[in-house]
Amino acid sequence: RRKKIVEQCERLMDNPEQIRNIAIAAHVDHGKTTLTDNLLAGAGMISEDTAGEQLAMDTEEDEQERGITIDAANVSMTHEYEGTDHLINLIDTPGHVDFGGDVTRAMRAVDGALVVVDAVEGAMPQTETVVRQALREGVKPTLFINKVDRLISELQEGPEEMQERLLSVIGDVNELIRGMTEEKDDIEDWTVSVEDGTVAFGSALYKWGVSMPSMQRTGMDFGDIIDLERSDKRQELHEKTPLADVVLDMVAEHFPNPVDAQPRRIPTVWRGDADSDIAESMRLVDEDGEVVLMVTDIGVDPHAGEIAAGRVFSGTLEKGQELYVSGTAGKNRVQSVGIYMGGEREEVDRVPAGNIAAVTGLKDAIAGSTVSSAEMTPFESIDHISEPVITKSIEAKNMDDLPKLIETLRQVSKEDPTITIEINEDTGEHLISGQGELHLEVQTQRIERNQGIPVSTGEPIVVYRETPTSDSQEVEGVSPNRHNKFYITIEQLGDEVLEQLRLGEVSMDMPEQERREVLQEAGMDKETSQDVENIIGRNIFIDDTKGIQHLNETMELVVDGLTDSLEDGPLAAEPVEGALIRLHDARLHEDAIHRGPAQVIPAVRDAVHRALIDAEIRLLEPIQDVRIDVPSEHMGAASGEIQGRRGRVDDMYQEGDLMVVEGIAPVDEMIGFSSDIRSATEGRASWNTENAGFRVMSDNLQRDIITEIRERKGMKTELPESIDHF
């Protein structure tokens, strides 16, 4: 039977008109998991008995019981609608909405979002956030109002009260949709209504659902439904009007297929050249074009290893293909391709454009990667890649869990590219770094819950930077044996050049000519751009010397010395950025023995640190853009929470029925924000932070923070006397 379903899917894969790629957007506990299982059971992918119980794909045990061994996040099913078979691919959106990036990525791979709202609770802030994210990406919504059984049986509502309540939920969702789509001219009216069939309601728990078409088909009205539900004839109700059919019919009828959706969506999700062949092939969903896969998530199969899941926008994925992975240099070889049948991966020969694929062999891919047969502009522009700004140590409470923890941490950093894992060489501790306090909290909770590894974490530590704020005099660095001397200056890198370094647009890996052009465009003078000897982190090293004997053989050590001194700045041993280091002159001992690492590295390090101090080095702190969505009565409290944290409110405006407060605040001050904002707004605020780079700390705070960092690192707390500029 299973084999038959797979064959049916393989046939459908070649007819993009019959495919729907969708996501479910819901506030936590509103019934996403229960509904998903209903759909799978209705489509014959899992047995009716298992659906509707505690189905959560929560624990590994659960997954095994249900025969789902891997990443149940993506599921595919078939559904017959009006005599035509459809292939419906459901992509999971992460439950947590505080990190826009994750949800956005998932939304980019789908064309329709089924919004699930609990009839009793109504639309919640998280519903609003996810719906907004969907609409921002051009994903079309429909609405399923869940837990209607509670209105009938618990709240004892009659037909009129019930109707009123449903209309109020629909009204809330529509206001949101209207607010977000009014200004988009490529979108017609996307508001939902019972009459149009874009709203369904019912009970995921008792597996029944109702929509206008289903009421017309069965001849049932509100009164009949209430009678059956009240008299506990839910099974009858389920048989008469099964939830899966009602919802899947709505999906097939109202969500666009890839052929209709891709021409409209490609310009929103991809910023490459619209006139290129690849753009054309993506718009046409051309299975004969270049292969383009957007990876939405990375899962692990105990047997097959890492699996990249994502949407094929163009071309046909096949085993053995050598594909580019965005952000990496080489190519990866596809070892197998598959689809998610029900939730289990099934290997197939090929996956053509318009489908969701599960691929093994893409070892360099991370969530968000663009994988393609020709070099191309990646989907998510690289400036979304934020660097970690906060670090915590993480340890397994039980030593036996250590190997599993290490493996899990590695996995986490692949699934979420904004997480990095390091080992503290002094203490052997594992350090997890990410975008903010809550980001790390969510990730560590995930490790505890999903992997069953109890962990303890240290206090959050903010990552600072050091930067020159003026240009230095020439400084002489002398080696311990006094036979080698280096003459250097430090200048500030221009903002634009620094930005290009941040974005990864300039590197030593790129052709020299191209590098010069980018640097010159960013404002570097021609001669300097031609003398770039190396790029060290976000600093540039210029060799201005001419014809110095032995310098060539010594250059590697000079770079080692620079790297060493720039990784640990002179203020607080935090990384230096934004420095242009010029080597003007050097004296080197004739004999290589006397200009080894022990001589050159300390000489360079000493010169760089003294020059940085002369260039008025200062501490930079990471800052975050903060966006709070909140009912207007809590707007004052919300903006107060930003201002009270050395922050600044930049904008306040209405979006739907909520107020949006936008501002900026230092990461350090944002520690504890999560619980403070909750109590300040009675839990009515939903919020988002995004890293906004670094800024120079005000001079009156510099010394305190520097002392704090030095204490934590076990350095002596007094600063060198030469530091007197703040």
Annotated binding site for GTP: 26-33, 92-96, 146-149
Kindly identify the residues of this chain, within the stretch 337-366, that bind ligand GDP according to CB under 6 A.
Answer: none
- Check binding of 332 to ligand GDP (CB under 6 A): no
73: helix, coil or strand?
Answer: coil
Q: Smallest gap, in angstroms, from Cβ of residue 440 to ligand GDP?
A: 22
Binding site members: 26-33, 92-96, 146-149
Which of 33, 369, 413, 444 forms a contact with ligand GDP (CB under 6 A)? 33
Q: What angle do CA 375, 509, 368 make, to 5 degrees?
A: 45
Does residue 391 contact residue 347 with C-beta atoms inside 8 Å? no
The enclosing H or E element of 695 equals strand 686-696
Give the CA count within 13 Å in the CB-facing half-sphere of 643.
Answer: 10
Q: Which stretch binds ligand GDP (CB under 6 A): 169-177, 203-211, 416-424, 548-556?
A: 203-211
Does residue 372 contact residue 279 with C-beta atoms inside 8 Å? no
- Check binding of 30 to ligand GDP (CB under 6 A): yes
Q: Give the integer Cα–Cα distance in Å for 107 and 112.
A: 9
Q: Which stretch binds ligand GDP (CB under 6 A): 1-9, 136-144, 200-208, 565-573?
A: 200-208
- Check binding of 23 to ligand GDP (CB under 6 A): no
Q: Smallest gap, in angstroms, from Cβ of residue 34 to ligand GDP?
A: 3
Which of 16, 31, 42, 656 forms a contact with ligand GDP (CB under 6 A)? 31
Q: Smallest gap, in angstroms, from Cβ of residue 149 to ligand GDP?
A: 5
Q: Which stretch binds ligand GDP (CB under 6 A): 31-39, 326-334, 563-571, 615-623?
A: 31-39
Nearest to 621 by CA among 525, 705, 519, 517: 705
Q: Give the integer Cα–Cα distance in Å for 370 and 385.
A: 14
Residue among 24 and 295 whose Cβ is closer to ligand GDP: 24
Does residue 660 contact residue 652 with C-beta atoms inside 8 Å? yes
Nearest to 33 by CA among 68, 80, 81: 68
- Check binding of 204 to ligand GDP (CB under 6 A): yes
Token output for 268: 């929103």
User: What track of x and - describes contact with ligand GDP for positions 147 through 186 (by CB under 6 A)?
Assistant: x-xx------------------------------------
Q: Smallest gap, in angstroms, from Cβ of residue 28 to ligand GDP?
A: 5
Q: Give the integer Cα–Cα distance in Å for 241 and 408.
A: 43
Q: What angle do CA 680, 684, 689 make, to 5 degrees?
A: 80
- Which 8-state DSSP code applies to residue 595? G
Does residue 98 contact residue 129 with C-beta atoms inside 8 Å? no
Q: How many CB atoms lie within 10 A of CB 315?
A: 26
Which of 5, 22, 25, 26 forms a contact with ligand GDP (CB under 6 A)? 26
Number of residues this chain uses to bind ligand GDP (CB under 6 A): 16
CA of residue 272 relative to chain centroid, distance: 20
List residues bridging with 652 in a β-sheet: 661
Nearest to 413 by CA among 405, 421, 422, 425: 421
Kindly identify the residues of this chain, within the stretch 118-147, that bind ligand GDP according to CB under 6 A.
Answer: 146-147
Residue among 163 and 381 whose Cβ is closer to ligand GDP: 163
463: helix, coil or strand?
Answer: coil
Q: Which stretch binds ligand GDP (CB under 6 A): 29-37, 191-199, 248-256, 503-511?
A: 29-37
Q: Smallest gap, in angstroms, from Cβ of residue 202 to ligand GDP?
A: 7
Q: Smallest gap, in angstroms, from Cβ of residue 116 to ligand GDP?
A: 7
Q: Smallest gap, in angstroms, from Cβ of residue 150 to ligand GDP?
A: 5
- Check binding of 622 to ligand GDP (CB under 6 A): no
Q: Give the integer Cα–Cα distance in Å for 534 and 605.
A: 16
Q: Give the integer Cα–Cα distance in Å for 14 and 10.
A: 7
Q: Smallest gap, in angstroms, from Cβ of residue 76 to ligand GDP?
A: 19
User: What track of x and - describes contact with ligand GDP for positions 631 through 660 (by CB under 6 A)?
Assistant: ------------------------------
Q: Give the integer Cα–Cα distance in Å for 423 and 528.
A: 37
- Check binding of 56 to ligand GDP (CB under 6 A): yes
Q: Give the integer Cα–Cα distance in Å for 689 and 666.
A: 11
Q: Smallest gap, in angstroms, from Cβ of residue 27 to ligand GDP?
A: 7
Which of 32, 392, 589, 610 forms a contact with ligand GDP (CB under 6 A)? 32
Q: Which residues of this protein are in contact with ligand GDP, per CB under 6 A?
A: 26, 28-34, 56, 146-147, 149-150, 203-205
